[in-house]
């Protein structure tokens, strides 16, 4: 049986999902004008999480401060992040993919792999079925995807990164020399900016150069583990299976793959605030609390690192979850590796009240919990973007500074 893998990648996910929502409401399409997701226009705070093609032409970059983006593009339309909207769209497009594939692996909020092996009798023409899937997502949900097709996950993902948007591309083993090898070495999956610089200095400028370079030489340049991995990838070798989506993990989580790397702690904290807000809101809606907070980061070397902390008592308070997440991030990050993905997970889920009854209740905590509940009520009536936890960011920066000072002292 021939192995066949699809990689589905939403084009400019956060911006596309916001644009599709507005178009459905009869508003203008954000994808056609200079626009971006992230931050607050009036306060000129926050960071750009996603941008439209017209905004990109104005020089707006993902990851840069909103104030800087507005100097480049004064007419930039800004939409605040809405992770609940993103989760809804993520589930929706994944559900459409599941109509066609026996196995669907969710890789991130806007990407998934489909194992189409053994479906030849159902779908004799894999290109035709890919175009049908792409069209269904666009017509039913209002946004576009790229689909890459190959015999393994690596090549399928590389193929989906070819010309965008709304395209289907193949990258089979016999197409590697023509389609993949001429690309810059930095375009290879798992080759970050720092690694690409090392390879380029060593005159390994294209993926083909890397594929033809002696493995020992590659390991000498970038280390044994990464060297072996990127050398295999350059030759189109990847044995990783497409894994079925795990069953309910009995927790709440959210992650985001950033269009451009984050290199500053304040920018990472802003993203963590949005993630903490998202997962805690969902958990409160279910009447649950969490006893453990975990943070995951993915560097530009595509290596995931995670750290978790068990709480003294279960909580559903956004501020508490956010501050723990920021502390975990400060412990995880080396403060120089660019970050491509951030995620928060809440586990050890409990039903019932957020804390055991006490003769001496914490008045501040109760006040904060009531504030969260009020925010949830306002959002449920008027939309997620109506109100945000802006004040938490400044306090977390102070927590981060104190924690770093403590780690350095130790």
Contact present, 198 and 222 (Cβ < 8 Å): yes
Rounded CA-CA distance 57/73 in Å is 10
- 50 neighbors 31 (Cβ within 8 angstroms): no
Taking phi over 0 as left and psi of -120 to 50 as alpha, with beta for the rest, 321 belongs to: alpha
- Helix residue ranges, H only, 286-390: 318-332, 363-382
Closest CA to 371 of 383, 355, 358, 388: 388
Residues in a beta bridge with 13: none
**Residue of 105, 111, 259, 320 marked catalytic:** 111
C-alpha to C-alpha distance for 229 and 26, rounded to whole angstroms: 48
Residue-wise burial string across 336-365, b where 16 or more C-beta atoms lie within 10 A, e elsewhere = ebbbbbbbbbbbebeeeebbeeeeeeeeeb
Work out the number of other CB atoms within 10 angstroms of the CB of residue 161. Answer: 16
Our answer to whether residue 87 is catalytic in this structure is no
Q: Is the peptide bond before 134 cis (omega within 30 degrees of 0)?
A: no
Consecutive H or E run containing 135: helix 126-141
Distance from CA of residue 398 to its chain's centroid?
26
CB 279 within 8 A of CB 253: yes
Q: What backbone phi and psi angles, to 5 degrees, belong to 92?
A: -65, -45
Query: What does residue 60 show for φ and ψ, rounded to 5 degrees?
Result: -70, 135
Residues whose CB falls within 8 Å of the CB of residue 354, separated by 6 or more in sequence, listed in order: 289, 314, 315, 316, 317, 369
Q: List, by residue number, the catalytic residues.
A: 111
């Amino acid at each position: 049986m021939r192995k066949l893998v699809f990689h589905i990648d939403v084009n400019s996910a956060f911006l596309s999902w916001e644009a599709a929502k507005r178009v459905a409401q009869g508003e203008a399409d954000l994808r056609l004008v200079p626009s971006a997701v992230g931050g607050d226009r009036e306060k000129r705070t926050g960071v750009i999480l996603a941008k439209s093609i017209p905004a990109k032409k104005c020089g707006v970059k993902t990851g840069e401060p909103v104030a800087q983006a507005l100097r480049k593009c004064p007419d930039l339309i800004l939409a605040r992040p809405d992770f609940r909207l993103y989760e809804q769209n993520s589930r929706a497009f994944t559900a459409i993919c599941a109509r066609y594939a026996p196995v669907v692996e969710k890789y991130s909020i806007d990407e998934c792999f489909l194992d189409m092996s053994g479906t030849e009798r159902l779908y004799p023409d894999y290109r035709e079925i890919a175009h049908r899937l792409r069209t269904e997502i666009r017509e039913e949900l209002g946004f576009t995807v790229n689909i890459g097709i190959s015999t393994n996950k690596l090549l399928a993902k590389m193929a989906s990164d070819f010309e965008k948007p709304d395209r289907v591309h193949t990258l089979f083993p016999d197409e590697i020399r023509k389609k993949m090898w001429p690309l810059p070495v930095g375009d290879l999956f798992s080759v970050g900016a720092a690694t690409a610089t090392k390879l380029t200095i060593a005159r390994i400028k294209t993926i083909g150069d890397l594929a033809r370079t002696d493995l020992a030489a590659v390991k000498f340049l970038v280390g044994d583990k990464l060297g072996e991995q990127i050398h295999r990838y350059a030759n189109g070798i990847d044995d990783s299976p497409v894994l079925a989506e795990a069953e309910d993990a009995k927790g709440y989580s959210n992650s985001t793959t950033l269009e451009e790397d984050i290199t500053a702690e304040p920018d990472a904290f802003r993203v963590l605030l949005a993630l903490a807000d998202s997962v805690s809101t969902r958990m409160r809606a279910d009447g649950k609390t969490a006893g453990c907070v975990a943070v995951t980061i993915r560097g530009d070397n595509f290596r995931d690192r995670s750290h978790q902390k068990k709480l003294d008592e279960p909580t559903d308070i956004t501020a508490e979850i956010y501050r723990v997440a920021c502390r975990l991030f400060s412990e995880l990050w080396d403060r120089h590796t660019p970050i491509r993905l951030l995620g928060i997970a809440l586990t050890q889920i409990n039903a019932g009240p957020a804390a055991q009854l006490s003769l001496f209740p914490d008045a501040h905590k109760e006040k904060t919990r009531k504030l969260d509940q009020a925010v949830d009520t306002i959002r449920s009536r008027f939309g997620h973007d109506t109100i945000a936890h802006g004040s938490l960011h400044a306090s977390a920066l102070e927590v981060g500074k104190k924690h770093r000072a403590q780690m350095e002292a130790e």
